[in-house]
Structure 1
Amino acid sequence: MKRSGLLHAELNRVIAAMGHTDTLVIADVGLPVPPGVPCIDLAVVPGTPSFATVFEAVYAEFAVESATVASEVRTKNPALVALAERLAGEGVAVNELSHDDLKRLSARAVAVVRTGETSPYANIILHAGVTF
């Protein structure tokens, strides 16, 4: 049993198996999961767990080279804008594209992690980096 950090066994397995440039999506409760992409469904009730809680747990375990968010966050989700700015400040390249394009790109993900988040456009694609 792990002492701390990310405790979800399936999520740990997915992260450990990822290679450079593989992608993992952390999604709000409404993002459609593309056919064939595994969904790690953490949603319990609206808002639980939150996007922020899941993101922080994953980010602490995962080597992130870059991230992709929907450009719609600029006007609809100030919390995700702040997160994108934080990541950029930490040296993570942050790309923006339309929400429709983000949904299409999520079809290439190793998995989608579904949270209970209900704020608009609370989705991010994390692109795996390397630790060396």
Structure 2
Amino acid sequence: MRETGILNREISDIISSQGHMDELIVCDAGFPIPLGVRTIDISLAKDKPTVPELIEELLKHHSVEKVIMANQTKET
């Protein structure tokens, strides 16, 4: 059993399988997601965990070229 890094198996699988130029979107419940797109719901309660919390943790364990954030997220 893992005790460090990304513990969620599905998230770990996605970031481990990403290649150059692949994209990962971290969003809240209001984001429109097209049918057929792989999703992982990790919500525990309303706004828990927050998008900034998730991004902060992902950046500790995953190299990224660029982060794009909505203005609403930047203000929180």
Please give the TM-score of this superposition, normalised by the length of structure 1. 0.52
Q: In the alignment, residue 4 of structure 2 is paired with which amino acid?
A: S
Structure 2 segments unaligned to the other structure (5+ residues): none
Partner of 2:74: 80
| TM-score for the superposition, normalised by structure 2 | 0.85
Matched, 1:61 2:31: no
Please tell me whether Structure 1 or Structure 2 has the larger radius of gyration of its CA atoms: 1
Which one scores higher on RCO, CA 8 angstroms, separation ≥ 6? Answer: 1
| Letter in structure 2 aligned against 1:22 | D
Q: Which amino acid aligns with 2:46?
A: P
Map Cα deviations across residues 5-58 of structure 1 (whole Å, 9 max, x no partner).
210000000000000000000001210112211111011221111112211121
**2:46 aligned residue:** 46
Aligned residue identity for 1:80? K
Counterpart CA distance in 1 for 2:62 and 2:49 is: 19
3-state SS, counterpart of residue 39 of structure 1? coil
Over 4 Å off, 4+ runs = none
Q: How does 1:96-111 map to 2 (within 5 A)?
A: none
Root-mean-square deviation over aligned CA pairs: 1.7
Contact 2:26 2:55 in 1 (8 A): yes
